């Protein structure tokens, strides 16, 4: 009985190692196809988007990787996480301008001109010359004030009791020199930062659904979905793929299960060496 004890422990250790390897494969693999199907029904979530971002590196087809990246990008925008999209996903999109074009519309403040029209501060929006007593570009001159105007400079005759001189503020035009009579001034639009366009996240709802459909269409040709591991899975589903699934890279699979597997392997080696030593001692004593 004492001799069979180490052997039984060795068998149980081997079984534990196999279970650890199975857990490692399950944690490392992500059913991208099923995850996209769930997002198509329930909508995007932060957890699902995080899984897709990591799992997309296991796909060899570049078009499929970009399609999944657009699913994640439109999902973040749909959840009003625009800053997270710009910081994490935007630099990895191939054609950012084409992707973001549906999200921009004409600025309602400047109507796409990039300039905002405001009332003129010089004439208070009237468009008339702001000089006092200026009437149509002329300022009346009479009495003592007329004597201070050089001869021939008044607009009235020399024999008249009163006359007019040209307004020096508007140069005789009667219009505000700042707004040129329009009563309005233009300044850079603060709402759109002179671009003439503003961001609108509303199209993300329809774009997300379209992105999921595109990803599902491209995915089977690049990475078939892994077969379900649970016993309750339907037998009518597609046959299970080979046991050797693509191994996710370092950014996709956690490192904790790997260390656990190596620990089991080292334990088994030590047990095997101990069993061999016990047998050698028994043979020697006989």
What are the pLDDT digits (tens) for 184-214?
Answer: 998 899 899 899 999 999 999 999 999 999 9
The pLDDT tens digits of the residues spanning 93-135 come to: 999 999 999 999 999 988 888 998 889 999 998 999 999 889 8
pLDDT at 25: 39
pLDDT at 13: 47
pLDDT at 60: 85
pLDDT at 212: 95
Per-chain mean pLDDT for the chain: 74
Torsion angle defined by CA atoms of residues 43, 48, 54 and 60, in that order, rounded to the nearest 10 degrees: -50
CA distance 271 to 37: 47
Q: Are 141 and 163 in contact (CB under 8 A)?
A: yes
Low-confidence stretches of the chain (pLDDT < 50) are: 1-3, 11, 13-14, 16-28, 146-161, 222, 224-225, 227, 229-257, 283
- Domain boundaries along the sequence of the chain: 1-28+253-286, 30-104+200-228+241-250, 115-188
CA neighbor of 62 nearest in space, from 223, 204, 242, 253: 223
pLDDT at 144: 52
What are residue 221's DSSP bridge partners?
none
pLDDT at 14: 46
pLDDT at 84: 94
pLDDT at 247: 42
What are residue 138's DSSP bridge partners?
135, 166
């Amino acid at each position: 009985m004492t001799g069979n004890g180490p052997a039984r422990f060795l068998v149980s250790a081997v079984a534990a190692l196999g279970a650890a390897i199975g857990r490692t494969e399950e944690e490392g693999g992500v059913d991208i196809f099923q995850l996209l199907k769930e997002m198509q029904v329930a909508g995007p979530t932060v957890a699902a988007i995080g899984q897709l971002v990591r799992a997309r590196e296991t796909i060899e087809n570049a078009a499929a990787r970009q399609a999944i990246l657009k699913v994640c990008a439109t999902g973040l925008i749909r959840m009003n996480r625009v800053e997270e999209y710009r910081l994490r996903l935007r630099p990895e999109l191939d054609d950012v301008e084409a992707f973001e074009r549906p999200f921009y519309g004409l600025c309602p403040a400047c109507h796409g001109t990039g300039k905002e029209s405001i009332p003129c501060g010089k004439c208070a929006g009237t468009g008339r010359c702001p000089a006092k007593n200026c009437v149509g570009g002329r300022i009346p001159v009479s009495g003592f004030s007329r004597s201070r105007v050089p001869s021939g400079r008044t607009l009235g005759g020399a024999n008249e009791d009163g006359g007019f001189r040209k307004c020096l503020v508007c140069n005789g035009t009667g219009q505000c020199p700042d707004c040129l009579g329009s009563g309005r001034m233009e300044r850079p639009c603060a709402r759109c930062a002179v671009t003439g366009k503003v961001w609108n996240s509303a199209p993300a709802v329809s774009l997300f659904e379209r992105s999921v459909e595109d990803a599902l269409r491209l995915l089977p040709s690049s990475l078939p979905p892994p077969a379900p591991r649970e016993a309750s899975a339907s037998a009518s589903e597609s046959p299970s793929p080979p046991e050797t699934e693509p191994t996710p890279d370092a950014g996709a699979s956690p490192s904790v299960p790997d260390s656990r597997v190596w620990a089991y392997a080292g334990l088994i080696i030590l047990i095997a060496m101990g069993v061999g030593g016990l047998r050698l001692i028994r043979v020697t004593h006989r």
